[in-house]
Chains A and B, each alone.
Chain A
Amino acid sequence: MKILVAIKLVAALDEDFEIREDGCDADPDYLDYQLNEWDDYSWEVALQLAEKFPDKIEAIPVTVGPERAEAGLRKCLAKGGERGIRVWDESLEGSDPMVIGHLLAAVAKREQATMVLAGTLASDHAYAQTGMCAAAELGWAHIAVVSRLDLDPEASEANVRRELEGGIEEELAIQLPAVMTIQLGINEPRYASLRGIKQAKAKPLETLTPSELGLSPQEVGEAGSLSQVRRMYIPEKGQAELIEGTPAEQATRLAEIIKELRGDA
Chain B
Amino acid sequence: MAEILVIASHRSGELNPGTLEVITAATELKQATGNKISVVIIADKPDQYVKALSVGGVDEIIKVSVPQAEFQPDYYESVVLAVADERKPQLILAPHGVDAWSFMPVVAAKRRYGCATDVFEIRYEDGKPVAVRAAYAEKMHMELDFPHKETVVLTIRGNTYKPSETSATPAISEFQAPAVEPRTRHIGFHAPDTSGDVDIAQAEYILSIGRGIAEEDNVEQFNELADQMGFTLGCSRPIADNGWLPKSRQVGQSGKTVSNCKLYLAMGISGSVQHMAGMKHVQTIVAVNTDAEASIFNIARYGIVADLFDIAEELKQHFQ
B-contacting residues of A (Cβ < 8 Å)?
Answer: 11-13, 15, 17, 26, 97-98, 101, 120, 123-129, 132-133, 135-137, 141-145, 157, 159, 161-175, 178, 181, 183-185, 222, 226-235, 237-243, 247-248, 250-252, 254-255, 257-259, 261-262
Contacts and interface: CB of A to CB of B under 8 A. Distances in A.
Nearest to B318: A255
Contacts of B25: none
Contact of A127 (B102, B117, B130, B185): B117
Given A12-B137, A232-B135, A235-B140, 15 more contacts: A133-B108, A133-B109, A167-B191, A171-B188, A173-B187, A178-B183, A226-B146, A230-B130, A232-B143, A234-B141, A237-B298, A240-B287, A240-B299, A243-B302, A252-B314
A161 B186 CA distance: 10
B46 interface: no
Given A238-B299, A255-B315, A165 B97 contact: yes
B127 interface: no
A142 B105 CA distance: 11
B302 A97 contact: no
Contacts of A133: 105-106, 108-109
18 contacts: A126-B273, A129-B115, A133-B106, A141-B184, A166-B257, A170-B190, A172-B184, A184-B238, A185-B237, A226-B149, A226-B153, A227-B114, A230-B145, A240-B287, A240-B300, A251-B318, A254-B265, A258-B263
Nearest to B96: A128
Interface of B: 11, 70, 73-74, 97-98, 101-103, 105-106, 108-110, 112-118, 130-131, 134-137, 139-147, 149, 153, 183-192, 205, 229-230, 237-238, 240-241, 247-248, 250, 253-257, 262-263, 265, 273, 284-287, 293, 297-307, 310-311, 313-315, 317-319
Contact of A136 (B106, B248, B265): B106
A184 B108 CA distance: 26
B314 A248 contact: yes
Contacts of B143: 229-233
A232 B142 contact: yes
Nearest to B294: A240
Nearest to B293: A15
Nearest to B205: A262
Nearest to A37: B238
A50 B302 CA distance: 49
Nearest to A251: B314
Given A184-B237, A238-B299, A247 B136 contact: no
Contact of B298 (A15, A163, A170, A239): A239
A162 B98 contact: yes
A135 B106 contact: yes
Contacts of B192: 167-168
Given A167-B192, A171-B190, A144 B101 contact: yes
A58 B44 CA distance: 40
Given A185-B241, A242-B304, A248-B314, A261 B297 contact: no
A240 B101 contact: no
A101 to B, nearest CB: 7
Given A127-B117, A171-B187, A143 B300 contact: no
Contact of A164 (B98, B117, B297, B305): B98
Contacts of A145: 98, 101-102
A142 B73 contact: yes
- Pick from B185, B241, B304 the residue with the most CB of A within 10 Å: B304
Nearest to B256: A166
A247 B306 contact: yes
A247 B184 contact: no
A144 B98 contact: yes
A264 to B, nearest CB: 9
Contact of A132 (B102, B247, B263, B273): B102
A183 B256 CA distance: 17
A167 B255 contact: yes
A164 B98 CA distance: 6
Contact of B146 (A120, A141, A168, A227): A227
